[in-house]
Copies of this chain bind each other. A is one copy, B any other.
């Protein structure tokens, strides 16, 4: 492999070229090479030897050894992220956002999978396996990312390096976290419906105890209050967070009232349920948004963008949360104090065609 084909344009990389080789080839000391490669300000190297060294680097195809560099400099430029997202990729854009940001900062993001059970539960032992592995790699900071917004307990060893939680928060309230502004999202959704003239709005709710449900519903109430309205408890129905759950909940709401009392809009607290609601509405010969407007939450692209009509929904800012997580971590590792224990990220409204 990597045979030296004569006449090749690309520099032939030899395996195992070290700084020493570069130094010899350039006729200087290894120290000089190190100085040039790390662009030291105060080191005095003449322009001529500098170019000679750079040429040697090119000719030999030298590639720095990140591990050795980390060992000597005592900084790895690595962050670690522990996440169940690899297992349940709903929120994979968190990883994308974090990756991109880390890449921009010239840092490596080590991704370690955690079983969902591990991340939530108090079961010590297995729980720390991923964290432990990351610390063995001498990551300079840790991120924990969850697929859905909730409280978690992180392993104790996370205290050893700066740590930031993404899309979840520390149940013990000690670590900084990045979470979606559920309330703002709920507010903006209902505001949109109000603006379209709807005053009788049905809500298809999630399990009422989870942070997402609590926040989004609270936001909905706020928006109604501003318009001088109240949320009719009868119009709020809960169901399983699935298409079937949404279908059933929508059926209950739609069939409960005579035509003139029927809600003219449905706020579905996630897109999967909206998907089911679509079916219930269409089955009854009603049109979207003509007879019933529908607004979702989550912006699960595969659903929202492909439903017919396309679903207007509130987006969970996964990518932004990932990026912000890395930025916060960078600030922390740079020694800056924690800004806030819980940073809220906007959930923007995505207008499509269902309102």
Give, as a whole number of angstroms, the nearest-CB distance from A34 to chain B: 16
A25, CB-defined interface residue at 8 Å: no
Contact across chains for B136 and A13 when beta carbons are under 8 A apart: no
Partner of A86, one of B76, B99, B303, B308: B99
- Give the number of copies in the complex: 2
Give, as a whole number of angstroms, the nearest-CB distance from A96 to chain B: 5
Give, as a whole number of angstroms, the nearest-CB distance from A93 to chain B: 7
Within A191-225, which residues are at the interface with B (CB < 8 Å)?
none
Contact across chains for A113 and B103 when beta carbons are under 8 A apart: yes
Within A69-108, which residues are at the interface with B (CB < 8 Å)?
70-71, 76, 86-87, 89, 92-93, 95-96, 99-100, 103, 108
Residues of chain B within 8 A of A340, CB atoms compared? none
Residues of chain B within 8 A of A275, CB atoms compared? 306
Given A99-B86, A306-B275, do A160 and B13 touch, yes or no (CB 8 Å)? Answer: yes
Given A2-B160, A109-B111, do A96 and B103 touch, yes or no (CB 8 Å)? Answer: no
A63, A159, A302: which has the most chain B beta carbons within 10 Å?
A302
Residues of chain B within 8 A of A71, CB atoms compared? 65, 67-68, 71
Partner of A138, one of B65, B96, B307: B65
Contact across chains for A96 and B86 when beta carbons are under 8 A apart: yes
A160 to B303 Cα, complex, angstroms: 42
Contact across chains for A276 and B99 when beta carbons are under 8 A apart: no
Contact across chains for B103 and A95 when beta carbons are under 8 A apart: no
Residue of B nearest to A93 (CB): B89
Give, as a whole number of angstroms, the nearest-CB distance from A27 to chain B: 25
A272, CB-defined interface residue at 8 Å: yes
Give, as a whole number of angstroms, the nearest-CB distance from A142 to chain B: 12
Contact across chains for B15 and A306 when beta carbons are under 8 A apart: no
A282, CB-defined interface residue at 8 Å: yes
Contact across chains for B306 and A242 when beta carbons are under 8 A apart: yes
The 3 closest A-B pairs by CB, nearest first: A243-B306, A89-B92, A302-B302
